[in-house]
Amino acid sequence: MVDVIYIEKEVIDHPRTAAIADRYPKAKRIEIERYGEIFNGHAQNFRIQKNNPSLILAAKQNKKVMPTPSQYETGGGAHYYFSHMLNCVYDCRYCFLQGMLRSANYLVFVNYEDFVDEIREIAKTHQNDDKPVWFFSGYDCDSLAYEPVTNFADFFVPEFSSIPNAVLELRTKSTQIRSLVKRPAQENVVIAYSLSSDRVAQEVEIGAPSMAKRVDALAKLQEKGWRIGLRFDPVIWHQDYVNDYQEMIDIVFKKLDAKRIDSVTLGGFRLPKGFYKTMRKLHPEHWLFSAGLDDKNAMVTYTQEIETEVLQNVANMCEPYLNTGKLFTYSSFDEDSLADQKSQQKSLQNGVEA
């Protein structure tokens, strides 16, 4: 439920604005000049706002598509990400948005057509690449969780059918897959699910669907012929993580056809230092920010010893089910990652307009 909708004057007559706002007939509508007046105000408290976020409808100006850090490779060619929305209906304790953004309000950019234009332009520049160019959605929001309101996938997925050298990857934890299963599977679209065991999810993925429901959604998508990906990222270290992850991975691969999984990625808990500091202040009582961490490099990560052990163990659990070349592990301690950590932080910060 949304009590308040702020609407930029520029998009007040946009048909998508009306469609979204009409989902909340009782909400107070407040006209604003620019979303930054609400979203970028100083001294806001993300944790408090998460109790009752407002919705902001705006136009995304300037650059809409950004290159991703090279460590996020999943077998494709050049990589970009774009965000039609900032913030998420879930409240994952590890989510970097809490550290990066000042506001927890849902900011939706309604000018989808401008995003697609930029995606097409970028795809053109990669026309002669050996591999398709990848566009990720789901960095700054969950790609599908707000689908009934935003119709994001319903709009973007068909657009990609006419960009053959591009792949769209939708990252999500959501079971809102109606807009996908109603249409024929599309070869250049991958639906990638973040998965955690139920015990971990209950502690750190507040509001997100259970692991069983996510796996059900994956199975349904796979059955309909969609390409799917699995993201065990972040793998959360805890006392019983070996049994916990083994149990989950067995369930996941029993339910899904492993041969038709596009890619599986693993990563540890990691955050830019400044984000970590902000997030720990917001949730000083949470264990996630307290144990096994190292801040020697540009990021706060698990210590090298813990991260290596955890990722290796989970990789070993996945390998029996997977063909070679499908499992990608993001270590915070290899050379590329250390270089990427700095550039990633910079690009994430550049993504929020003043």
Partner 1 sequence: MILEPPILTIMLALNCEAKPWVDFYHLKKSLDRPFNVYAKPGLELEIVITGIGAISMSTAVGWVAGRATSRKRVWLNLGIAGHLDRPIGDAVRVHSYIDANDLRHNYPPLVAKWAGDSDALMSVNAPTDSYPDSAMVDMEGLAFYRSACMFSSPELVSSIKVISDNQENSVENLNATKISQLMQVHVAIVNRFTDSLLALAKPANITLAELTLEGVRRTHSQQLQLNRLLEKAAALELNQAVADLGLQQESRFDLVLSKLAALIDHSAPSLERTPSDKADAPSLLSGASHG
Q: How far is the CB of 291 from partner 1 (least distance, A)?
A: 5
Q: How far is the CB of 51 from partner 1 (least distance, A)?
A: 6
The residues that touch partner 1, with contacts defined as CB under 8 A, are 3-4, 6, 28, 30, 32-33, 37-38, 41, 43-45, 48-49, 51-52, 54, 103, 105, 199-200, 203, 237-241, 244, 283-293, 303
Nearer to partner 1, 27 or 258 (CB): 27
Whole-angstrom distance, CA of residue 70 vs CA of residue 343: 10
Q: How far is the CB of 240 from partner 1 (least distance, A)?
A: 7
Nearer to partner 1, 172 or 197 (CB): 197
Nearer to partner 1, 23 or 50 (CB): 50
Whole-angstrom distance, CA of residue 221 vs CA of residue 260: 11
Nearer to partner 1, 126 or 277 (CB): 277
Nearer to partner 1, 189 or 310 (CB): 310
Q: How far is the CB of 251 from partner 1 (least distance, A)?
A: 18
- Vertex 347 angle, CA 287 and 109, to 5°: 90
Q: Pull the structure tokens for residue 292.
A: 């096994």
